[in-house]
Amino acid sequence: MNSTEKKKVRVKRTVCAVTATAMLCLAQPVWGEASVPGSGVTVFEQVAAVNSGENSGEVSVTDNEIPKGAQISSKQAEEIVKKAIPEPKNVKISNVQFLENDGLRTSVLAWDLQMSMTRGNTTSGFSAQVNAVTGELINIYLPNRMQNLDSDKPVVTREAAKAKALQWISSHVLDMKASDLKENEAYLGMQTALFSPPRYDFYFQTSVNGIESDVNSISMTIDGYGNIVSYSRNQISEDFPSSTPKWDEAAIRKVFEEQFKVTLAYVPDRLYNNTKGNYFLGYIANEQSGLSLDANTGKFLSFSGEDSEIISVENGAIPPSLESFKPNTSSAANGEGAARLVESQIKLPAGLKTESKMLGTRWNNSAIKTWNIRWGEPNPMGGGEMVSAEVDAKTGQIYSFNRYRFDRSVAAEVKNSISQQAAQELAFETVSRLVPNASEEWRLTSVDKLGKNDQPLHYQFTFQRYIGDILVMGDTLSLTMDGSGQTLNFSVNSEAVPSKLPSDVKPAFSAEQARSKYLQEIDLKLKYGYYGNYYGSYYGGYVSSASGDMKPEIKLIYYPTHKKGAFSGISVPLDAKSGVWRDIIPEMRNKDIPALTDTAGHPAEAALKDLVKYQVLIPDKDGKVYPDRQITLGEWYQFVAASVTPSYEQIYGRTTMDPYAGLQPDHPYYQAVQTLIAQNWIPYDPDSPLQLERKLTRDELASSLTRILNYEKLSKAFILPTDVQGVSDAENITNKGAALIALKLGLIPAVDGKFLPEREVTRAEAAEVLIRMSKLAGRSDSFLSSYFY
């Protein structure tokens, strides 16, 4: 049996159907029952005497059979998992498999259990894996419905949660010491939002002989009350090479610097979802500089761990004499015509038939209608090839083309592969024919020759868009072809609008000076990298199966990192005008925010600091937040949206391009409004303009809070001044029920016995209200009671 295959010991299914895979959740006291720290008894030994009998009338998918190489049965694995589940009586095992290797960076024998939990007529599915030799729990994924959070417990700090995680690892992980673990924050998810129930994500990596390592890692999540809510162990059995590199840092540094170059480019303000389409002139590093180097050979490595054969192209201009792109509006008017248009431009494998044609929009611009088409083999029995393409429904431009292979049949061998020069000429012809203004705006910048270790030969060409002689960062084109010159993958992304680029800006310093600044900021760090352990190779969407398994391998490598961009390698552009490093990758956490300078001694100082901590309120470059400045309705919406997720601007960036309530997508309040619509916190009325520039009053604030709390209908039951107790100006309140609820919950306190409904709200007052609201997250029956972002 191939090492990546799954051996099915039992494939029985219970009557209930799995309907959803949900959140990871686990109550820590239950985990403690899985082993006895210090007893020397492994987890599986504690359950070895489990009764093998089955419940009357119920068929079990687990049994006491122990496969070759394993030391526990599927029945024992079931008991181990159920000890980690808060409500094991409601859980049924729907499927169990014995994994000799799951092919996903884990090379241990394991039991994979698919489970379901039913409450009433709702069923949730989840899974867990158990080491079939040691009985150690490898990972577990439990439904959100299993959560039993005690929100009355005091919230623990991140430091206390980390200590609890390391303590649990020391007690439960058999072959790992907590002292060998190092937290890597670069792998953490999105920053916890103000309105999210508190939780802490940890990604621990091992160090081997004092060297950072990519393998044998542990991921854990602990909620704000100290409960472990998720756990996953990555186990690799391969041997580690010597920790002494044959190339020292000085020698590697010389190799790195010899190839290091920078390019003048138009750089987007935001690399992803550049909503406003703004660009600045900057210097960026060349493509190869982001690759790691083998510490024993001194060669650059590809992402698959093989010696990189990327060749930079100095003059990659596309000849203007080639056949150029011609819009074909009539052919792309319907799905069938669009499919035939693709077939006329790019050769498809023989025997494929059109399977589906779907009209949609581009991922980054809903104003562009596209046909998404798929071709497949008739009755491929779960294997064979498939082709997909995206075509502009108006112009007929092909935005993407991908070939996929799903079986392990050997691809047809190309006996007489074309040369790299011939492939490059063919690439020029293809791009010129498929892309508008190809010879004026696109240049070939690098070629990567793929196909080592007896794999089929492939060429991968990377083109960059240029406006004049300046590269446009993010506007890229990729083309992959096989040894016969057939296109396997094609994709183009072209977002920049030339008229909006800062063409009048000139660099204040030279490329050589920029190169020197870069090299001062870039470090080369030593670590163990892990490569392989997957089947075949992936070339631009095409899975080639001629070579069999890619054997896993651990290599000692140097990897480059920028001091100003630890989470993004060296992809930190240098502003060509100011000489300042620019942050264009949306930070999910630990954003570098100026220290506050205008909140000391303010009554709302603590609340303002918390809003800055959660990136709801961002100080200006001088560290000021202007606490006594009155806010508009639009600003209030921005604060609430950031309380849901600090990255709301990226989430609702260019993915939605439709105007709403008089707002165009580039309006500063547009993304905040979209966020609140998604939460149903403002009425959905796309045709009624929003008065977002008017100042927000306490009366309007109370109404907004009531809708967010889902008490809007309840508030309408209170309409009399006598309903609002404790304030002397109740008759002046327009939304009396909303004011009553806000007062009762302590969200908006009275001022000298008055509600002051017409008083305009300041930033400081808004900050205090939001902090009070955040205390209700997960503790109210209606406000974010089951919300996890």
What pTM was estimated for this model as a whole?
0.73
Residue with tokens 């998810």: 189
Statement to judge: residues 90 and 206 lie in one domain: yes
Average pLDDT per run of 10 along the chain, which is 789 residues long?
A: 40 33 29 34 39 51 92 93 78 89 64 86 83 88 61 73 88 79 66 76 86 85 78 81 94 96 93 77 92 95 84 90 89 88 94 92 81 84 80 95 72 76 96 97 92 73 96 96 94 93 94 97 92 49 41 89 76 94 67 82 95 91 95 97 84 62 84 90 88 96 94 91 91 95 94 96 97 79 54
Q: Regarding beta strands 534-539 and 574-575, do their DSSP bridges make them parallel or antiparallel, or are they unpaired?
A: unpaired
Distance of CA 402 to the CA centre of its chain: 22
Q: Measure the CA–CA gap between 169 and 220, rounded to whole angstroms.
A: 10
Report the alpha-carbon distance of residue 341 to residue 333 in Å, rounded: 11
In this predicted structure, what is the pLDDT of residue 593? Answer: 75
- CA 91 to each of CA 30, 117, 748, 763: distance values in angstroms, whole numbers, following the listed order: 15, 5, 45, 49
Q: How many CA atoms lie within 13 A of 755 on its CB side?
A: 33
Q: Give me the pLDDT at residue 56, please.
A: 42
Calpha distance 318→710 (Å, rounded): 59
The verdict on 187 and 39 lying in the same domain is yes
**Facing residues of 111 across strands?**
98, 130
Q: Is residue 97 part of a domain?
A: yes
| DSSP code of residue 195 | T
Residue 455 included in any domain: yes
218 shares a domain with 359: no
761 and 621 in a common domain = yes
Close Cβ partners of 291 (under 8 Å, ≥ 6 residues apart)? 300, 301, 302, 303, 308, 310
Terminal Cα distance for the chain, rounded: 41
For residue 209, what is the DSSP state?
T
Residue type, 19: T
Question: What letter would DSSP give residue 682?
Answer: S
144: nearest Cα among 30, 15, 19, 29: 19
Supply the pLDDT for residue 51: 38
The domain total for the chain is 3
The H-assigned helical ranges of 10-82 are: 28-31, 43-46, 74-82
One-letter amino acid at 371 equals: W
Q: Is residue 294 part of a domain?
A: no
* 490 in the same domain as 612: no
Residue of 59, 85, 405 whose CA lies nearest to 77:
85
Angle between helices 763-774 and 633-644 (to 10 degrees): 30
Domain boundary among 233, 254, 286: 233
Residue 666 lies in a domain: yes
* Distance from C-alpha of 508 to C-alpha of 492, rounded to nearest angstrom: 32
Residue at a domain's end among 462, 497, 532: 497
pLDDT value, residue 107: 65
Q: Which amino acid is at 472?
A: V
Q: Are 253 and 126 within 8 A, CB to CB? A: no
Q: Are 217 and 82 within one domain? A: yes
What are the CA-CA distances from residue 480 to residues 258, 447, 462 (Å)? 28, 10, 9
Residue 318 in domain: no
pLDDT at 174: 74
The distance from CA 592 to its chain's CA centroid, rounded to whole angstroms, is: 21
Q: Which of 708, 714, 713 is nearest to 783 (CA)?
A: 708
Q: What span, in angstroms and rounded, lies between the C-alpha atoms of 662 and 642?
A: 22
Beta bridge partner(s), residue 535: 549
What dihedral angle (degrees, nearest 10) is formed by the CA atoms of 650, 656, 660, 664? 70
Q: Are residues 227 and 339 in the same domain?
A: no
CA distances for 444 relative to 283, 312, 497, angstroms: 19, 9, 21
In degrees rounded to 5, what are phi and psi of residue 267? -110, 130
Pick from 464, 497, 530: which residue ends a domain?
497
Name, in order, each residue with C-beta under 8 angstroms of 113's C-beta and a sequence gap of 6 or more: 62, 74, 77, 78, 81, 93, 95, 96, 127, 128, 129, 130
Q: Which helix (H) or strand (E) holds 477?
A: strand 470-482
Burial of 13 (0-12, 13-18, 19+ CB in 10 A): middle
- Residue 714 belongs to what domain range? 605-774
**254 part of a folded domain:** no
- Please tell me the predicted confidence (pLDDT) of residue 786: 47
Output the six-digit token pair for 334: 């319907």
- 369 belongs to a structural domain: yes
**Cα separation values, 553 from 196, 236, 311, Å:** 40, 10, 25
β-sheet bridge partners, residue 554: 530
Q: Residue 303: beta bridge partners?
A: none
Within-domain flag for 657? yes
* CA separation for the pair 226, 590 (Å, rounded): 22
Tokens 């800055």 belong to which residue? 612
Show the 3-state SS of 339-351: HHHHHHHCCCCCC
